[in-house]
Amino acid sequence: MSISTQASFESGHVDQIHDCQYDYYGRRVATCSSDRTIKIFDVAGESSAAQQTLIATLTGHDGPVWMVAWAHPKYGNHLASCSFDNKIIIWKESEQGVFSQAYASPTTLHEASVNAIAWAPHEHGLVLAAASSDGSASVIAKRADGSWDASKIPGAHSIGCTGVSWAPAAPPGSLVAAGGNAPAPTVKRLVTGGCDNLAKVWRFDDASNQWKEEHALRAHGDWVRDVAWSANMGLPMNTIATCGQDGKVFIWTQNEPGGAWNHRLLNDFGAPVWRLSWSVMGNVLAVSDANNLVTVWKESVDGKWDQISATE
Amino acid sequence: MAYQQAYVKQVNRCATVAFCPTSPYIATGTMAGAIDLSFSTTACLEVFKLDYANPSTDMPLAGGAVAANERFHRLVWGPAGSDTKETPHGIIAGGLVDGSVNLYNPAKIIGSPIGAEPSDGTSGALITKMQKHSGPVRGLAFNSFSPNLLASGAEDGELCIWDLVKPATPSLYPGLKGGAGGQPGPGEVSYLAWNNKVQHILASSSLNGTTVVWDLKRQRPVISFTDPNSRRRCSAMQWNPEVATQLIVASDDDRSPSLQIWDLRNSISPAREFVGHSKGVLAMAWSHADPGMLLTCGKDNRTLCWDTNAGEILAELPASSNWNFDVQWSCTTPGVLSTSSFDGRVGLYNLQQAAAPNAGGGAVDQYGVQQPGPKQPMKKAPAWMRRPCGATFGFGGNLAGFGVRSAGAVEAGGAEAEKPSPTALSIFRLHTAEEVAVSQEFEGAVTAGGSDSLKEFCETKRSCAAKEDEETWGFLGILFEEDARRELLKHLDFGAALDAKEIAATNAAAAAAAAAAESTAAATAAAPDSAAATATAEATPLVDGNAFFNNFPAPPPAPAEPIPEAPELVAARRKAAAKAAAKAAAENEPTEILDASDAKVQRALVVGDYRAAVAACVAAGRHADALVLASVGGAELWEETRAAHLEANINRPYLRVASAVVSNDLGELVKTRPLAKWRETLAILCTYAPAEEWGALAGVLAGRLESAGNGHAASLCHICAGDVDAAVTHWMGSLPAGKVAPSAIHGVLEKAVVLTRATGQASGTGLSSLAVSYAEMLISEGQLSAAISYLDMVPDGGDAVKDLRDRITQQSAYGQTQQSAYGQTQQSAYSAYDSTASAYGGSASMGGYGAPAPATGAYAAAPMMPGQPGSAVSAPQTTSVAAAPSFDPSASAPPPPPPAAPAAAPAVPPSQQAYGAPAQSATPQHYQTAPAQAPPQQAQYAAAPPSAHSAYGAQQPQQPQQAAYGQPQQPGAYQTTPPPAHFQPSMHSPMQPMQPAVAAAPVQAPAPPPAPVMPKPPANLSMHNVETDKVSPSHASIVKSLTTLFKVCEGAAGANPARKKEVEDSSKRVAGLLWKLNRADVSPSVCEKLTQLCAALDGGDVATASQVQVALTTHDWDEASSWLSGLKRLLKMRSSIQ
């Protein structure tokens, strides 16, 4: 396996970029930056034929924008962004290339920088989770009548909450059972990472209408910078990757629902690791660290993780 | 609420602190110069543990306190590096009031028992006391480059440099004295700090206002300076962590509380001053995590965080009741800072809790107290929150990254290699080599579709497969044979028997004749012989009628034998017996010896009472004779006798078989036969089971085998039964648990698809979920086209397949150059097809379009590409059939498609938007290969388009024209060979999934996916630089008028920036239109309207022009959207100018 560079271009941002995300179809990329704007590019096409055109620039944040996330297109084209200005904004594309704010979180929702956002699997509806430096996480959902409902998970992590990621909606194991069974009811679960060196798995308890902490994943020696729950490809295990300021990336696996989480060190990168990204099908992990290096890792059949060599 | 949560941690000590550079600890030493409520004068050093995971604000002690004889002025914790075995946590150095510098070993403190009284440190916690100074030691600092070096400064400005290689016996370097060169000597040192960039430089601030920079190597001061305006006391100084020549000095003099930044290159006056405190500043801390952040605390009871680049206050911590005299950043955890306050508390804050300075007041609560307003965010985000680098995956195996360096550059240049541009974005692609090769053969065979190719494929697989698989493939291969059953028998090792049977059939007559010529004994022997001739070579002694019955009851025959053909056998035997009997009778003429039973039989026979005769024979035990007589005595009697006989002898396996065959109850047989002989059973079924029961019976057998644990055999039976789902379940189950290698899934998929093809069934859920997961694997490798072909193998696989396919086609709808089987034909087909889409309201015939038209379609189609698949496909469908005959590829020489023609995915445009874009994919192929396929789809699409179109008001019956246009641009010119039939299956799938998708998917009217045009105008297009040389003469007028319009507007906009921007944007858009005209990419109807519009414009009739523009908006929005708004704006401006 190898990685090759397809294209590299200047985004037009005037300050450091902090996130880039592909949309559902892999056709557009949204970037956000310390210059408080979000830019959306069309990057479809392969290698030489590919052109990158700027479709839109979105302004509205009062501080550096930390993360962007595209929702599933079945609800229309929504893009969420979170920023140092304590706000989460959800943008909607009304017509080709024109985005407008569909929702901006109230100032009472978060009292400090919102560091990370993640859309829930589309089976849960149009639902967004956010992690903030005020130590709490929040979940924003669009109600059937079109209005938005925001609720908080207070005190998720002390000092601050840095990352959030949802579990896939499909219950694990659906590939092996090749039958026509009715799908099991989906459970809402998510994982958050924080400045208390922990990652926590939360489950939504329908009875009490609250998020309850299921597990605390303890292995990092310093802030957890990012958490990522991988798609499970129908196999009966859950996998979460966490990375931290201590330069390490851990892979956590839970082999049956409700069971214990075991962790394994993927690698010690020697520099704070900032970002993790699972491939769409969930078997390859991209790791980005403070040395400006991106490495891609794939699990071999015997459970070890091998780095895919990077090419120019 | 904000105030209560202000502290992350706190402890009630009036102390100066030092963070541990490596581990989560903090040391506190009782502060000199402050008396607590009990007026005690004790002093001690304590170490606390920091556990941020614990939400409590209390800090637990890490070990017992260590007493000190005097109080501390300064505490510093030696950085990592001075760690040795003895001092794994470094060394704590404290400057005391009495001039001594104490060294402590935190390793001895941590974990020591916590007693009520502080220990005296003799246990090793106190390493040594260095008594060199005579006054309070306020300056103390470890060198970060050489952690063994400790500098201390006290009264009279003399610095001591200690070497702590052996902490117990520190050695002293020659002291640094100031006062040389006529400079006033530095006074009492208030703060000491080593330079962060240069190892041998340190600076000291003093209470007489002089700041001195020392060079250790030269053992003398380098620079010294004071504030030119006032000789103020300097209380603290800090070096800039990034710039080696900058430092900041603060004064605790209330008359000049500003902070001064000095750059040593100019030591005459400060480079900058930060004004903010209203009274003297007591302490400062410059963050190493973010060199733009500086903390200060002062006598105005404020603790501020400064942005050193801008010189502004970023944030202010909540005020406490007394001054903070010390503020420090945590070494390990960014964003955490400590403050020591005279009100006896050390508190740790999270910087994020600090509010921006001008937070407005909030609401007044029920007590009339104004609550703090909503927190304003800080103007600048700290560096430790700014993500420098990241990469995320996208659908299709792409990776988008920012701030990424290539690995090669890093290796070449080391860590200091050029930093990547922080504003650049990179796209990467992952490659796997392995997966594709395996599948090409497979895809080829499947898409070729014929049973021959599939059979061949099975053959190839079989020859290179492992044992179990070999069998499986063999079975699969058989299913494609014409005479499957026969082949199956052969496969089950009954081939020889089969052959023999056939031979025997022809020989039966001969054999019987031969037998007739022999004696009775010979005849009876011959019966087995002829019977043997019908059995296999390895026949065990077949039961010969007479011999058997005479030896009744006989031992059970040997098992596992090929089954003789019972009816034929019986018939042959009967014949032989009859002949023999006749012969015997003939030979034994005339004497007839009859015993009693014989007589009975004879008598009955004579009168024709067969029933009695049979009964008599049976009674006499002459079963063979009984059967013979029964056969003569009518069908009913025969059946009765036969049944009775069979029943009586049911224990013989072959008779069981025969009985089952006779009574047509194979099910029972299947249920009861021993499993070990499943092949035999299968063969029996093969031979005897009627077609409609074959599947069910094989299924029953498979079920039994499965529950008995013989999964493989069961799967073979499933194959024979044609039960795809069951077979898939078995194959999937036999894969190793856990993460499965793609090649294993591929293997299963191959078998499943082949089986589905063989049985002609619709794909079951098992197969479709398998296909989906394999396609997903391919997608993550970026093999989108391969993924599509796999999905096409299960065209009716349900929603998952459809969704995935849609997703792929969406991704590649814009310019994915073809690698797939769809290849060139489709590419050209699409470009050709695209041109069709432009036919709005134009009833122009195909022939009517010259060069521009086909190309225009290409552009026109682009905005419609995300359009509704339904309408898309339907359009061509309806007229394709009619059109097909009348157009041959050579009809009008289509111009070569624009080079970057919509390479267009093979796929149907996404199901989302009702742009009415034709589905380029299917139609051309349909025209070429199977026009007949068009009609079926027609009906379904008829429903779809109206709903789609209504959303955009494009009411034109686009279909006829679109289809019509499709024709001339047929790939005829591009491709000589029409795509082979293999497109058929693939074509089907886009059709079918689309239709339901269209019907089902809500028309996302409000949110169309953006549809970038393919090809797109160059990025920096504007009216000034657009090329218009290739525009056809009829459109030249359009170009001219639009250019004029633009110039007028540009002139009118003048310098007004907002207007200018508007004009620029409009310029870009209209230039896009011109660019398209240049490439002949605009549809005829639009051109018509444009001509009208421009005519009106030229005539100065802006109103009409606007009307035409409105008409364009109404009817041609799909095509014209990108430039129409620009045009509109220009028209508006123009009308406002007049």
User: Residues B162, B288: one domain?
Assistant: no
Pick from B609-623, B848-862, B1015-1029: least confident: B848-862
Do B115 and B201 have their domain in common?
no
What is the DSSP code string of B702-719? HHHHHHTT-HHHHHHHHH
Q: Is residue B792 part of a domain?
A: no
Which has more pLDDT, B997 or A4?
A4
Which residues in chain B are closer than 8 Å to A174, comparing Cβ atoms?
A: 769
Q: Which pLDDT belongs to residue B80?
A: 61
| Overall average pLDDT of the B41-58 stretch | 84
Interchain proximity B425–A275, CB inside 8 Å: no
Asked whether the beta carbons of residue B1007 and residue A25 sit closer than 8 angstroms, the reply is: no
CATH number at residue B1109: 1.20.940.10
Final residue before a domain boundary, out of B286, B319, B352: B319
Query: How far is C-alpha B902 from the geometric centre of its chain's CA atoms?
Result: 26
Q: Which DSSP helix (H) or strand (E) runs through B259?
A: strand B259-263
Is A239 at the interface with chain B, CB within 8 A?
no
Query: A220 — contact with chain B (CB < 8 Å)?
Result: no
Q: Which residue has the tokens 């594709």?
A: B436
Write out the H or E segment, with its range, that includes residue B88: none
Q: Where along chain A do its domains lie?
A: 9-104, 106-312
pLDDT score recorded for residue B1106: 82
Among B175, B200, B235, the domain boundary falls at: B175
Report CB contact under 8 Å: B903, A17: no
Q: If residue B1074 lies in a helix (H) or strand (E), which one and from where to where?
A: helix B1057-1078
Q: Which residue in the set A7, A94, A237 is minimally distant from B426, CB to CB?
A: A7
Q: Contact A17/B377, CB-based, under 8 Å?
A: no
Contact yes or no for B8 and A158 at CB 8 A: yes
**Helical H segments across B664-783, by residue range:** 666-672, 678-688, 691-707, 711-721, 724-733, 742-759, 765-780
Residues B68 and B107 in one domain: yes
Q: Are residues B169 and B51 in the same domain?
A: yes
A170 to chain B, minimum CA–CA distance in Å?
A: 12
A92-147 pLDDT, tens digit per residue, is 998 888 899 999 998 888 888 999 999 999 889 999 999 999 889 999 999 888 88
Give mean pLDDT, residues B118-132: 77
How many CB atoms are closer than 10 A to CB B638?
17
**Rounded to an integer, what distance in angstroms lies between the CA atom of residue B891 and that of residue B408?**
55
**Within a domain: B902:** no
User: Which residue, of B175, B204, B220, is where some domain finishes?
Assistant: B175
Give the neighbor-by-neighbor strand order of the sheet with B303-307. Answer: B281-286, B293-298, B303-307, B312-316
CA distance B775 to B740: 14
B87 plus B233 within the same structural domain: no
Contact residues, chain B, for A308 at CB < 8 Å = 430
0.80 exceeded by the pTM? no
CB-CB under 8 Å, B333 with A223: yes
Instruction: Identify the pLDDT of residue B884.
Output: 34
Task: Write down the pLDDT at residue B820.
Answer: 35
Q: Are A158 and B406 an interchain contact pair (Cβ–Cβ within 8 Å)?
A: no
Residues in chain A: 312
Asked if A295 contacts B391 with a C-beta cutoff of 8 angstroms, the reply is no
**How does residue B1110 score in pLDDT terms, banded at 50, 70 and 90?**
confident
CA angle A13, A18, A23 (to 5 degrees): 90
* Closest listed residue to residue B701, CA positions, set B729, B731, B666: B666
- For B875-907, the pLDDT digits (tens) are 333 333 333 333 333 333 333 333 333 333 333
Identify which of B994, B966, B990, B983 has the alpha carbon closest to the alpha carbon of residue B883.
B966
Q: State residue B846's pLDDT score.
A: 35
Mean pLDDT of B713-735: 75
B231 in a domain, yes or no? yes
Task: For residue A134, give the nearest of B316, B373, B317, B6 by alpha carbon.
Answer: B6
Nearest CA in chain B to A294: B404
pLDDT confidence of residue A163: 94
Residues B280 and B145 in one domain: no
Whether residue B253 is contained in a domain is answered as yes
**Rg over CA atoms, chain B:** 49
Only one residue has tokens 């007041």, namely: B361
**Residue in the structure block whose two tokens are 């849609």:** B806
Please return the burial class of B114, using the count of CB atoms within 10 Å of its CB with bins 0-12, 13-18 and 19+. Answer: middle
Q: Min CA distance, A108 vs chain B (Å)?
A: 7
Distance of CA B446 to the CA centre of its chain: 27
Interatomic CA distance for residues B405 and B412, integer angstroms: 12
- A214 touching chain B per CB within 8 A: no
Q: Give the residue with greater pLDDT, B521 vs B244.
A: B244
Q: Write down the pLDDT at residue B294.
A: 92
Nearest CB to B388; choose among A26, A93, A292: A292
Write b or e for each residue in A220-233: b if 16 or more Cβ atoms lie within 10 A of its Cβ, otherwise e: bebbbbbbbbbbbb
Is A142's Cβ below 8 Å from some Cβ in B?
A: no
Domain assignment present for B1074: yes
Confidence check: pLDDT of B838 > 70: no
Its domain, for residue B32, covers: 15-175
Across the interface, whether the CB atoms of A42 and B381 are under 8 A apart is answered no
Superfamily the domain A106-312 falls into: YVTN repeat-like/Quinoprotein amine dehydrogenase (2.130.10.10)
B599-603, B709-713, B755-759: which is most confident: B599-603
Per DSSP bridges, beta strands A137-142 and A127-132 are antiparallel
Instruction: Indicate the average pLDDT of chain B.
Output: 68
**Contact between chains at B766 and A55 (C-beta distance less than 8 A):** no
Q: Are residues B146 and B225 in the same domain?
A: no
Q: Answer yes or no: do B167 and B242 share one domain.
A: no
**Which residue, B271, B254, B454, is CA-closest to B982?**
B454
Please give the average per-residue pLDDT across B413-438, as a whole number. Answer: 67
Q: Are A84 and A35 in contact (CB under 8 A)?
A: no
On whether both B171 and B205 belong to a single domain, the answer is no
Shared-domain flag, residues B258 and B159: no
Inter-chain CB proximity A281 and B780 less than 8 Å: yes
Q: Does residue B310 share a domain with residue B216?
A: yes
Tell the burial category of B56 from Cβ atoms under 10 Å away from its Cβ (0-12, 13-18, 19+): exposed
Strand partners, B149: B163
Maximum Cα–Cα distance across chain B: 165
Whether A286 sits inside 8 A of B728 (CB atoms) is no
ipTM: 0.90
Among residues B1064, B1120, B1067, the alpha carbon closest in space to that of B1093 is found at B1120
CA B208 – CA B213 distance, rounded (Å): 15
Least confident window among A76-90, B535-549, B677-691: B535-549
Of A15-24, B703-712, B1116-1125, the range with the highest mean pLDDT is A15-24
- In 3D space, the residue among B691, B756, B686 whose CA is nearest the CA of residue B724 turns out to be B756
Residues of chain A neighbouring B1019 (CB-CB closer than 8 A): 51, 53-54
Largest CA distance in chain A: 55
Kindly report the nearest CA distance between residue A93 and chain B, in angstroms. Answer: 6
CATH code assigned at B298: 2.130.10.10
Distance from CA of A205 to the nearest CA of B (A): 23
Inform me whether the C-beta atom of residue A298 falls under 8 Å from chain B C-beta atoms: no
Determine contact: A20 vs chain B, CB below 8 A: yes
Q: What is the domain count for chain B?
A: 3
- Give a yes or no: residue B404 inside a domain: no
Q: Number of A to B CB contacts under 8 A, please give it.
A: 351
Segment A191-242, tens digit of pLDDT = 999 988 899 999 998 888 889 999 999 999 888 999 999 987 666 788 999 9
In the predicted model, what is the mean pLDDT of chain A? 86
Residue of A nearest to B53 (CA): A196
Q: Which candidate, B550, B549, B514, places its Cα nearest to that of B529? A: B514
**Higher local confidence (pLDDT), B626 or B526:** B626
Question: Are B195 and B157 within one domain?
Answer: no
pLDDT at A21 (0 to 100): 93
